[in-house]
Amino acid sequence: MRRWNGWGDDGIDVALGVEAQDFLAERLGPGTAPQDASFDAACAALAPGRLPPHPLVDASAQTRLRHALGQSLPDWLRLRHGRVHAAPDGVGYPECSEQVRSLLAFAAVNGADVIPYGGGTSVAGHLGVMDAARPVLSIDMSRMRAMVSLDREAQLATFCAGVAGPDLEAQLRAHGYTLGHFPQSFEYSTLGGWVVTRSSGQQSLRYGRIEQLFAGGRVETPAGTLDIPTFPASSAGVDLREMVLGSEGRLGIVTHATVRISRLPQHESFHAVFFPDWERALNAVRELAQARLPLSMLRLSNAVETTTMLTLAGHAKLVRLLEGWLRLRGCGEGKCMLMIGVSGDRAQALPALHAALGLARRHRGVHVGRGLGERWRRNRFRNVYLRNAAWAHGYAIDTVETAVDWPRVTQAMEGIERAAANALHASGERVHAYTHLSHIYPQGASVYSTFVFRLSGDFEADMLRWRRLKDRVSEAIVAAGGTISHQHGVGVDHAPWLELEKGELGMKAMAALFRQFDPDGRMNPGKLLAP
């Protein structure tokens, strides 16, 4: 069953090995396992729901609690400490567009706000109740998961938008196709959620971001139904898809999405290449991106992340062997690991891989074969379970991400890590920060930093630690000219920094757009645009 106060399925545990525990203790001090509130106690603490009964709405405390928050660190703190200040008053489970409309009408009649709920995986605060004075209806899209149509000729598939990653891929795979959209939240996040948060998958280098994959669909809004037809391209005015992409539930609920699919790749493999230092590695990935080789992934870890990952993965003996071998080839202390993915027809993929490895070699990159790559592939959606294990040992793991043009990539990375490292000095705590470039473009890269720090076990103190850290690293992102989010969206957590990149006019334009579809302002209020 899905964990109510942590990541993923409660049948899956990814342990933090002894070496990893030592590694963290050495850097941060020993952790103390915090005491979690029980599910029953958290349910009992909820105020009673205020919505009248509706045949599609579940108003039980259990269901309301499970829809109260997402996966951001402040969300976790609230759940772990049983401090859920407000939950939706009921959760609707529509099975079709008509039922979505009926639920929107039910909300309107009852003066309720609406929070669309996909996979509940937001790490930016998209799901919390903002204004407890008004009743809130959560609309859970999980029953809308069917593939509605498949057009092999146009390589288009239409899904009900509540479909989660594995279900979507399984339905396509049965016909020999893939969408190729693999965010780390893949196991739970949904097609509709990907669209409204402008999600990006690990293999976007080949398949594109969700912006490129979303070809059209249906959105139910308080002002009516918006149907967006599919065209290969169009110059007919403003693109309606782009009003929905990134709208974060503010204008309505995506009920159907047509996506651009690809044939399953003949070949897919992942390859680890180590570089002696950051500068060489960075030059190599920039050249790889600008050479426009048909690769499917480029993911570059900095030196600290490389060491951290190798340590956290366990297998100390194997890692020591690998490190010895690498040292002989010039990759010692500051070595950085690049993961290269190729997917597609053999005739294209293998020459591209060959060219990429050749280019890497010219920057003194050392290819260590497919073993590490295969391990990365197997664990690509399991690493996130380490958050649970670390928490149990008294450590919080949080991440931020941005994207910047190439001249500012290193500056952004260093600025973010420095800000994080110093953020908790006041409370005498250290922060272990490390970074990878998760998505590589000819123009620049996304910069994805992870922070580990100790939990005090006190709710207010730990919220304050998170707040300080979040503020400092967000300031560093802005200072480096980065966007406040490359792939997680804005939600509540990033909203204070949004105007710095959109400008006053841009913010007003977004607000005007949402108002048109949602004149009463009941759709996910307070998210994306501060109230």
Range 166-205, binding a second copy (CB under 8 A): 197-200
Give yes or no for residue 519 binding a second copy (CB under 8 A): no
Q: Which residue among 29, 294, 330, 334 contacts a second copy (CB under 8 A)?
A: 294
Q: Which residue among 135, 489, 525, 526 contacts a second copy (CB under 8 A)?
A: 489
Least distance to a second copy, CB of residue 24, Å: 30
Angle between helices 409-423 and 459-479 (to 10 degrees): 160
Alpha-carbon Rg for the chain, nearest whole angstrom, is 23
Nearer to a second copy, 147 or 226 (CB): 226
| Binding positions for a second copy, 430-459, rule CB under 8 A | 439, 441-446
Nearer to a second copy, 9 or 242 (CB): 242
Smallest CA-to-CA distance from 521 within 222, 204, 208, 194 is with 222
Give yes or no for residue 509 binding a second copy (CB under 8 A): yes
Give yes or no for residue 88 binding a second copy (CB under 8 A): no
Least distance to a second copy, CB of residue 186, Å: 16
Least distance to a second copy, CB of residue 116, Å: 16
Give yes or no for residue 209 binding a second copy (CB under 8 A): yes
Please state, in angstroms and rounded to a whole number, the distance separating the CA atoms of residues 183 and 195: 12
User: What is each CA distance from 13 to 1, 21, 411, in whole angstroms?
Assistant: 13, 16, 36
Q: Which residue among 72, 171, 247, 301 contacts a second copy (CB under 8 A)?
A: 247
Least distance to a second copy, CB of residue 356, Å: 12
**H helix or E strand, kind and range, residue 343:** strand 336-344
User: What is each CA distance from 280 to 283, 309, 339, 366, in whole angstroms?
Assistant: 5, 20, 15, 12
By rule CB under 8 A, what count of residues binds a second copy?
A: 92
Least distance to a second copy, CB of residue 77, Å: 24
The pairing of beta strand 90-92 with beta strand 136-140: parallel
Stretch that binds a second copy, among 88-96, 140-148, 184-192, 291-299 (CB under 8 A): 291-299
Least distance to a second copy, CB of residue 63, Å: 29
Give yes or no for residue 531 binding a second copy (CB under 8 A): no
Least distance to a second copy, CB of residue 204, Å: 8
Nearer to a second copy, 24 or 228 (CB): 228
Nearer to a second copy, 35 or 235 (CB): 235
Q: What is the 3 state secondary structure string of 122-161? A: CCCCCCCCCCCCCCEEEEECCCCCCEEEEECCCCEEEEEC
Stretch that binds a second copy, among 77-85, 130-138, 296-304, 502-510 (CB under 8 A): 502-510
Least distance to a second copy, CB of residue 245, Å: 7
Give yes or no for residue 13 binding a second copy (CB under 8 A): no
Q: Which residue among 15, 290, 325, 361 contacts a second copy (CB under 8 A)?
A: 290
Phi then psi for 87, rounded to 5 degrees?
-130, 160
| Binding positions for a second copy, 44-83, rule CB under 8 A | none
Q: Which residue do the tokens 């593939």 mark?
A: 147
Give yes or no for residue 356 binding a second copy (CB under 8 A): no
Stretch that binds a second copy, among 3-11, 60-68, 222-230, 308-316 (CB under 8 A): 222-230
Is 286:404 a contact under the CB 8 Å cutoff? no
Give yes or no for residue 233 binding a second copy (CB under 8 A): yes
Q: How many CB atoms lie within 10 A of CB 425?
A: 11
Least distance to a second copy, CB of residue 488, Å: 6
Please state, in angstroms and rounded to a whole number, the distance separating the CA atoms of residues 467 and 95: 39
Please state, in angstroms and rounded to a whole number, the distance separating the CA atoms of residues 384 and 246: 24
Give yes or no for residue 355 binding a second copy (CB under 8 A): yes
CB under 8 Å to 67, separation ≥6 — which residues?
87, 88, 91, 115, 117, 120, 127, 138, 140
Give yes or no for residue 130 binding a second copy (CB under 8 A): no
**Cα diameter, the chain:** 71
Nearer to a second copy, 245 or 469 (CB): 245
Bridge partners for 113 per DSSP: 136
| Binding positions for a second copy, 255-284, rule CB under 8 A | 260, 262-263
Give yes or no for residue 293 binding a second copy (CB under 8 A): yes
Smallest CA-to-CA distance from 127 within 87, 69, 42 is with 69
Stretch that binds a second copy, among 32-40, 272-280, 287-295, 449-457 (CB under 8 A): 287-295
Stretch that binds a second copy, among 38-46, 141-149, 216-224, 329-337 (CB under 8 A): 216-224
E strands in 42-152: 57-58, 90-92, 113-117, 136-140, 147-151
**Plot region of 436 (φ>0 → left; ψ -120 to 50 → alpha; else → beta):** beta
Query: 53 burial class (0-12, 13-18, 19+ CB within 10 angstroms)?
Result: exposed
Least distance to a second copy, CB of residue 490, Å: 5
Phi then psi for 361, rounded to 5 degrees?
-60, -40
| Strands across the sheet containing 90-92 | 57-58, 90-92, 136-140, 113-117
Q: Which residue among 484, 492, 518, 522 contacts a second copy (CB under 8 A)?
A: 484
| Binding positions for a second copy, 377-416, rule CB under 8 A | 403-407
Q: Which residue among 90, 193, 217, 246 contacts a second copy (CB under 8 A)?
A: 246
Give yes or no for residue 226 binding a second copy (CB under 8 A): yes
Nearer to a second copy, 38 or 212 (CB): 212
Least distance to a second copy, CB of residue 497, Å: 9
Nearer to a second copy, 263 or 425 (CB): 263
Please state, in angstroms and rounded to a whole number, the distance separating the CA atoms of residues 93 and 66: 14
